[in-house]
Structure 1
Amino acid sequence: MTYTSPRRPQLFYTTAPMPCPYVVGRMERKVVTDIGGPDAERLHNRLSRAGFRRSHTIAYAPVCPSCSACVPIRVPATRFAPDRTQRRTLRRNMMIEGFEVPAHATTEQFTLFQRYQFARHAEGDMAAMNFYDYRAMIEDTPIDTLMIEFRTPEDQLVCVSLIDRLDDGLSAVYSFFDPALDARSLGSYAIMYLIEHTRRMGLPYLYLGYWIRDSAKMAYKARFRPAEILFRGAWVPLDGHEAPQDGSGMTRFPISFPE
C-alpha cells in the first residue's frame, strides 16, 4: 500500500493479528507507516486528520476486518462546555498547575509512570518498561512534541501529559497520574487543561485518539462535549452518530486525507 507524496512514496504495512487489548474476544490489526524524515510534520498532520496515531516514529491506525470499535475522536476547543461533574473536577484541582516542558524524560516522571502502570495496567506491556524504554517513548519523535507536568503548590508531580503539536490542534499521545489521587479525577482534569491549552494556543482541536464505546478504558472520551468523530472518512458531530461495530464505517484504502 502506498500514498505518493510530491517528494517520495509513503509505504504502509499491515501487522499480524493480535488479541485486542480493549474488547475481549476480538483480534486487532493495524496499518503502520514510518513518518521519520524531512516530510515528517506535513505527513503527520495529514495522517492525524485521517485518524492515525503516533508512537515513536510510527503512525498507525486500526484495520480490523470485522470490527470498527476504535473511532477517532477530537474536541473542538472553543466549543467545549464542561458538565456538572467536570466543573466539580475543575474546582477540586484548581490549585494544581500545569507547566509546559520539553519532551525530555526524567526520573521523577518515570517513578510516577511506574506507579501508574503497576496500579492501573499491571498486566500490560507498559508495566515492564524500564527507564530507557520510557525515554524512547518520550523522546523518540520526529515531530514537534511537548509535555505538560501537573504539580501541586508543594511542587509534587501528580500528572504528566505527552502531546504532539499539529497544524490544526494538539494530539494527546499519553497521560499518566498518581493512582493514590483517584478521587481528584486527574485524567479528566488533564484533558480539560489540554482543551484550554489548545484554545490558548489559538488551535481548533484537541485530538484524543480512539473512543471505544464498549471499553471501560476508552469510553470516557465521549464525555467531553461537544465532540467530533471520524465517520466514513469525514469528521462529524458525535451526537447522533453511533460507533459502528461491524466494520461498516471503517475508512478503507486508498486513505482519505481530510484537509
Structure 2
Amino acid sequence: MSSLQTLIFYATPEHNCSYLEAKKATTMFVDPKASVDKELYSKLSVLGFRRSGNHYYRPHCNHCSACVPVRVPVNQFKPSRSQKRILKKNIGLEISITPPEFCQKHYDLYEKYIIERHSDGDMYPPSEEQYRSFLVEGNPSTFFVEFKYKGELIGVSVIDELNDGLSAVYTYFDPDISDRSLGVYSVLWQIEECKRRSLDHIYLGYWIKSCRKMEYKTLYKPVEFLISNKWTLQEPNK
C-alpha cells in the first residue's frame, strides 16, 4: 500500500485554464499506479487534492494560486435564510444511498444535465465511457445518493467518505426542476450526513474568487480555505 512518503507525482504540460481566460494551467497528479486507500486519500484531501475517477490531482500552476481548496466545518455551519427555504422546499424527497455502479437511469439524467447545463464545458459531449471513468470507477469509499420525487429520479450526488469528512465529487440533476435548487440542497444534505456519521468536514473542491461558477462554494458558512498548506477561515486577498 502506498503512503505519502512513497508517492510519486507527475505534472502535466501547461494547458489552457478551464476557469480563467487567457491563463495557462498545470496539474499535479498522483502516480496512477499508486494504491490509494481511504487513509491515504484522506491525507491527500487535507493537502488539497481531489479525485476524478482513478486520478488524484491538484492545481500546480506557475505564477498563479487562484484555485483555493475549500471545506466546511459542519459542526459550525449555520444555514442562511435562503438555504433554510431550500431545505423546507425539499422536505418529502425520497433519498437513498446506493453503491457506485452504472445505472442507465443515472446516466440518462447525467447526459441531460451535461447537454443542457454544461455544453460549454470539458465534459461535453457526454458519453457512457466518460461517465463511467469519471464517476463510476474510483475509490472503494465512494457512494451515490439518489434524490427522487414521487418515485422519479431527479438528482444524483457522488460522494467519497474520508476519515475526517465527506468529499463532494459531483452532483447532477434534472435541469427542468431548477426551482428545487437541488445543487444547493445536495450540499446541505451532505453537511447533515457528515454530522450523522460524526465527521467534521465536507470538502467542496476548488474556489476561485473571480470565477462566478464557483461563488456558491463560499455560501456555506463558515468556510475554510487552504492557504500555504494551512486551513484558515480567512478568505484569501482580504
* TM-score bin (small chain): over 0.9
Supply the AA of the counterpart residue of 1:137. Answer: F
State how far apart, in whole Å, the 1-side matches of 2:51 and 2:168 are: 10
Query: Unaligned regions of 5+ residues in structure 2, if any?
Result: none
State how far apart, in whole Å, the 2-side matches of 1:33 and 1:40 are: 13
Q: Which residue, out of 183, 197, 209, partners 1:213? A: 209
TM-score, normalised on structure 1? 0.86
Q: Which residue, out of 167, 170, 175, partners 2:171? A: 175
8 A contact 2:144–2:156 mirrored in 1? yes
Supply the AA of the counterpart residue of 1:133. Answer: Q
State how far apart, in whole Å, the 2-side matches of 1:182 and 1:118 are: 15
1:105 aligns with 2:102: yes
How is 1:177-196 mapped onto 2 (pairs within 5 angstroms)? 177-196=173-192
SS at match of 1:10: coil
Shift of 1:198: 0.9
How is 1:42-191 mapped onto 2 (pairs within 5 angstroms)? 42-152=39-149, 154-191=150-187
1:16 aligns with 2:13: yes
Query: Unaligned regions of 5+ residues in structure 1, if any?
Result: 245-259
State how far apart, in whole Å, the 2-side matches of 1:241 and 1:23 are: 19
Identity of aligned residues (%): 36
8 A contact 1:37–1:142 mirrored in 2? no
Supply the AA of the counterpart residue of 1:105. Answer: F
Structure 1 stretch 36-45 or stretch 207-216: which is displaced more?
36-45
8 A contact 1:77–1:204 mirrored in 2? yes
Query: Which residue in the other structure is 2:24 paired with?
Result: 27
CA RMSD of the aligned region, Å?
1.7
State how far apart, in whole Å, the 2-side matches of 1:175 and 1:243 are: 29
Over 3 Å counting, the alpha-carbon distance change for 1:208 and 1:22 in structure 2 is: same
8 A contact 1:213–1:243 mirrored in 2? no
State how far apart, in whole Å, the 1-side matches of 2:140 and 2:32 are: 9
* Paired residues, number: 236
